[in-house]
Amino acid sequence: MTQAPVDWNKFRKDYYRTVGATVIKALTTNGFQASYAESCDEAVKAVLALVPEGASVGVPGSVTIRELGLPEILASRGNLIIQHWDPSLQAENRAQRWTDELASDVFLTSSNAVTLAGELVNIDGTGNRVAGMAWANNRICFVVGINKVCRDVAGALQRIRDWSTPINGIRLGMDLPCIKAGFCVDCKAPQRACRAVSILERAPYGRDAHVILVGENLGY
């Protein structure tokens, strides 16, 4: 008698759901409108439901948002996508584009990490992304892969420095000590990528802040 094939991924998914429920509850307590998406497809549907047709959407540096194909999907629906990741953008116009991203109807980003206590933790080099997370004036929408869940703020900062930063550094062709070492060495290098640290302990006052936690690996 042949045995039915084992669905190895099921155990992962069951666990993700459990962790997800803990994080969603904590985020909700902290004033975020939080929901869990089982899959990338569900996450895309959840974002489409949060972005009004015709709305402008500011997308800062986020691999997660692009892995989900959201700029293209939203643009094909008629949304205006404002992003500085635009190869045709002249260097002298970049600062204005950063500002325009923040002023969009929806600021669509990920987070480098989310804690079990429902805090969003990020480190930026330029600061435009963390600025938008706290200061974008309209709807702020975070899409976060389950791989970014950390026990606490210390674990989140560790994750960002040992994992997100070197991988992003490789993506951007940067010369960072953590790329050579494989982990953060708290460098003093002039090209240090870690400059602006943000911890959102609660949703910023008066903001319409949403978090979609996805039960799949996304971004770095």
Binding site for ligand SF4 (CB under 6 A): 161, 165, 176-178, 184-187, 192-194
Extract the runs of DSSP E, i.e. beta strands, from the chain: 33-37, 56-59, 80-83, 106-109, 113-115, 120-124, 139-145, 149-150, 196-200, 208-214
Give the nearest distance from C-beta 129 to ligand SF4 in angstroms. 15
**Cβ of residue 194: shortest distance to ligand SF4, in angstroms?**
3
Q: Please, what is the minimum distance in Å from the beta carbon of residue 204 to ligand SF4?
A: 25
Nearer to ligand SF4, 73 or 174 (CB): 174
- Nearer to ligand SF4 (CB atom), residue 106 or residue 184: 184
DSSP structure class, residue 214: E
Give the angle 187-148-185 at the CA atoms, nearest 5°: 10
Measured from the CB atom, the residue of 95 and 189 that comes closer to ligand SF4 is 189
Q: State phi, psi for 110 to the nearest 5 degrees.
A: -110, -165
- The span from the CA of 136 to the CA of 103, in Å, is 6
179: part of which helix (H) or strand (E)? helix 177-181
Q: How far is the CB of 156 from ligand SF4 (least distance, A)?
A: 13
Which of the 8 DSSP states describes residue 75?
H
62 or 165: CB nearest ligand SF4: 165
Taking the complex as a whole, the smallest distance from the CB of residue 3 to ligand SF4 amounts, in Å, to 46
Closer of 177 and 204 to ligand SF4 (Cβ):
177
Cβ atoms of 52 and 27 within 8 Å: the answer is: no
